[in-house]
Amino acid sequence: MSNTNTESTTHNVEPRSANTLQRSERIRKKSLRIAEKSKKISERNALLYPSFAQSTVEDAPDESVAPGSTEQENKPTAKKTRRERLSNSKKHDSIGFSVSAILSAVAIILLVSLAVGLIFDLIPSGRRDLAFINISGSNDTLEGEYADSSTLTKAMSSVVVVSATSSTGASTGAGFIVAVSEDGNCDYIATNYHVVANMENIHVRLYESGDYVEATLVGFSEEDDIAVLKAARSGLPALTMANYKTCRIGDAVYAIGTPEGENFSWSVTQGIISAIDRILWDFDDNGTLEKTMRVLQTDTPVNPGNSGGPLINAAGEVVGIVTLKLGESEGMGFALPIDGAIEIISAIIEVGSADSIQSTISNKRGLLGITCVGVTEGHWYKLFSDKITESDAINGSFRADASGVYVMSVQANTAAHGKLKAGDIITEINGMRIHNLAQLSNIIYNMKVGDEVTLTYCRGGKYYSAAFTLGGQS
């Protein structure tokens, strides 16, 4: 009986061992394919994102065998199964251990591959700011939430007072730490360009120590009113930039700055987001539109010393850079939206300017280069050096051959120079009928430098067309 049972057991075990070996061989080959694929993904990420590849990918294997991981959770179950099925066979334990080891290796490779794949998928291609700036990955809208004291205090520690002087004057505003240099020796600080424009000496005052530290101007974008400063490393944290897509009208926001001078440094005021992607028109001293600005509107109380400081949400993340308020109006403050500001700031940190960036914040107004006035077909007008007025046939200078916009003069070295001339009447722009100056102005004002336009105009009773590339204000 004993020999029969032993022989029977032996006959039953051998085919099962062969199957196990075949299965092990298949798993081994599959694991090699996965490992090769993982290696290729790692090499690709190392080329595209070296900092991520070095820090995250190399750390992944350690995380995959940490307490509570897949491997350690599976081991007890695997051992229990082997004991139940192969309790009297050391050979089976050896084979089982080999299978377990291979499966564990596969699990580790899969975890590493998954980690690398997730990193690759989460990094937006073409974003040049990730190497420098912390960006929130949260999709939480924070609706109805408010910041607690610890969140505000933490954010305040990253805000600095910016003081700038020159031979002609002085300026005070705010700024905030957006990144630390790769060598860890300096802080990068974002602020408004108008706070440091044409200034020779710039200092930032730190929150925790109150020390004044000399700062240098890394670069700026005058059009976007953004500047980046560099100062010796403070040891203070950089603020995290919010996911701008989560901003909603009515969300609670907070401004941190220096209203009315340094005596009120690190003042915190609270409000809500009043409007998202509001368009402001910026006029020069002559009343000519220079550019449009996309801004975040808030009723948070802000004053001149808040310029350059952060507007943060309930999580302490930056949603905008405070830039201006509307005259003496109450509750009409504006901040540069952080989604566009990130690209400007990152470019400045990398190359010292934002010339290579197509800004989503500011659009410089396109310029035709003409002075003009609306006229109506068949009406008589009196022509003066700087204006025309409607008249009668006896006293009039000319009779309009068409309804549209009468060209009074053409500026040299502009888009219209050499194509239009005084006396032409513009009747269409890009196929759209123009009846008066307001129509033409509204269309041109909503176009930017470099845009192409085609004008139809009447000259001496005949109609012509000409294509233009809009220039900008000089």
Is 55 marked active-site? no
- Tell me what pLDDT residue 4 has: 39
Q: Is 435 a catalytic residue?
A: no
What is the torsion angle, in degrees rounded to the nearest 10, for the CA atoms of residue 176, residue 181, residue 186 and residue 187? 0
CA 13 from chain center: how many Å? 64
Options 225, 339, 401, 424, the catalytic residue: 225
- Identify the pLDDT of residue 127: 35
Same domain, 317 and 404: no
- How far apart, in whole angstroms, are the C-alpha atoms of residue 238 and residue 176? 8
Active site residue: 163, 307, 346, 403, which one?
307
Question: Coil, helix or strand for 361?
Answer: coil
Measured at the CA of 278, the angle between CA 441 and CA 442, to 5 degrees, comes to 10
Contact in structure between 472 and 415 (CB atoms under 8 Å): no
Same domain, 209 and 293: yes
**3-state SS class at 90:** helix
211 and 106 in a common domain: no
Q: At what angle do helices 90-122 and 2-48 cross, to 10 degrees?
A: 20
- Looking at the fold, whether 113 and 148 belong to one and the same domain comes out as no
Other beta carbons less than 10 A from residue 464's beta carbon:
13
Answer yes or no: pTM beyond 0.75. no
**Same-domain check for residues 374 and 340:** no
Q: Which of 9, 38, 174, 211 has its CA nearest to residue 117?
A: 38
Catalytic-labelled residue, pool 42, 64, 171, 194: 194
Q: In whole angstroms, how large is the CA radius of gyration of the chain?
A: 34
Same domain, 193 and 290: yes
Return d(Cα 214, Cα 366) in angstroms, integer.
39
- Burial code (b: 16+ CB inside 10 Å, e: under 16) for 255-281 equals bbbbbeeeeebbbbbebebbebeeeee
SS3 content of the chain, % helix, strand, coil (to 5): 35, 35, 35
As for how many domains the chain has, the answer is 3
Cα separation, 321 vs 191, in Å, equals: 7
- 223: domain CATH number is 2.40.10.120
Shared-domain flag, residues 467 and 422 = yes
Please choose, from the candidates 199, 231, 228, 227, the residue with its C-alpha nearest in 3D space to the C-alpha of residue 212: 231
Residues 6+ apart with CB under 8 A from 159: 174, 175, 176, 207, 256, 257, 266, 309, 310
Q: Which of 122, 144, 168 is the last residue in one of the domains?
A: 122
Domain range spanning residue 295? Answer: 129-364
CATH number at residue 415: 2.30.42.10
Q: Are residues 30 and 146 in the same domain?
A: no
Q: Are 370 and 410 spatial neighbours (Cβ–Cβ below 8 Å)? A: yes
Give ∠ CA 280-274-134 in degrees, rounded to 5: 85
Q: For each of the chain's 474 residues, which pLDDT tens digit applies?
A: 434 343 333 333 334 445 555 655 665 665 566 556 555 544 544 444 443 333 333 333 343 334 444 444 443 333 333 333 333 333 333 334 444 444 444 444 434 333 333 333 332 333 333 346 888 888 877 888 999 999 999 999 999 999 999 988 999 999 999 999 888 899 999 999 999 999 999 999 998 888 999 999 999 999 999 999 999 999 999 999 999 999 999 999 999 999 877 888 899 999 999 999 998 887 766 666 677 899 999 999 998 889 999 999 999 999 999 999 887 778 899 999 999 999 999 999 999 999 888 888 987 767 788 888 999 999 999 988 778 899 998 888 899 999 999 999 998 888 888 899 999 999 999 999 998 888 888 788 777 778 889 999 999 999 999 998 887 655
Q: Indicate if 277 and 382 belong to the same structural domain.
A: no
Hey, what are 441's tokens? 């102005």
Q: Which of 343, 349, 341, 282 is nearest to 311 (CA)?
A: 341
Q: Which of 96, 122, 148 is the last residue of a domain?
A: 122
Same domain, 154 and 295: yes
Q: Which pair of tokens denotes residue 70?
A: 């897949």
Nearest to 229 by CA among 167, 267, 173: 173
Residues 235 and 180: their CA atoms lie apart, in Å, by 9
Residues 254, 170, single domain; the answer is yes
Give the domain-ending residue among 122, 138, 166. 122
Catalytic annotation on 359? no
Residues 313 and 452 in one domain: no
